[in-house]
Amino acid sequence: MTVDPTPRRPRAMRRDAIENREKILRTAAELMARRGSNVPLTEIAEAAGVGVGTFYRGFPDRTALIAELQRRGYGLLLVTLAAIRTDGLRGADAIETYLQECLSLADQLVAMPFRGAEPLTDPAAVDARRRVTKAIEDFLTEGREDGDVQADVSAQDVIVCGTLVGTRLPSLSDWQAAARRHLDLFMRGVRMPPR
């Protein structure tokens, strides 16, 4: 038996496969945000409008789905942070915009470590976490240099606040209003008082 020594590149995903994958991930995140992480996988497939076989080809089990939701969450946060940088925001304004985006992305960030998921340990996920933290630290450093951010605010404070405002509390009748109020109160502690 001969073995072909040339490594084969993985085939690129077809466009419909990419679209189905994104539909599954978006739908899974939205359902999990409302009902918890134990939503039956068959229900996710049905709500996403894909067959169960299509679902299981991409995500053989719940662990694989949650891991991919976490990777996707990091991607969404990194895109958000890059857009804030591109818009030229700095310091407290950048942090406030980031937190508002965390609130608007709340249903898509259900599988993040501060929301209870086990942190992924693969190099790409570790690097993504590091990049999110570094971008926030950079905004805080700029804010301290500009005199609009308190000295004791850390990137972890911002990440925890982003998690809290993005965690749906079903017992509140207007969860979004409560989250916005929490965000406003947090930002009062971030910003330097006017001179």
DSSP characters for 111-133?
A: TSGGGTPPPP-SHHHHHHHHHHH
- Shared-domain flag, residues 78 and 146: yes
In a domain, 8, yes or no: no
Confidence of residue 9 (pLDDT cuts 50, 70, 90): low
* Domain that residue 95 falls in: 69-190
In a domain, 161, yes or no: yes
- Shared-domain flag, residues 142 and 50: no
In a domain, 93, yes or no: yes
In a domain, 146, yes or no: yes
In a domain, 7, yes or no: no
Q: What is the C-alpha separation between 71 and 68, in angstroms, rounded? A: 5
In a domain, 5, yes or no: no
- Shared-domain flag, residues 45 and 124: no
**Average pLDDT estimate for 10-31:** 84
In a domain, 126, yes or no: yes
The answer to whether residue 192 scores a pLDDT higher than 90 is: yes
- Shared-domain flag, residues 73 and 54: no
Confidence of residue 194 (pLDDT cuts 50, 70, 90): confident
The proportion of the chain whose per-residue pLDDT surpasses 90, expressed as a percent, equals 75
Q: What Cα–Cα distance (Å) separates residue 69 from each residue in 59, 107, 109, 169, 188?
A: 11, 11, 8, 20, 32
CATH number of the structural domain spanning residue 140: 1.10.357.10
- Shared-domain flag, residues 83 and 129: yes
Whole-prediction pTM value? Answer: 0.86
What is the pLDDT of the chain when averaged over all its residues? 91
What is the domain count for the chain? 2
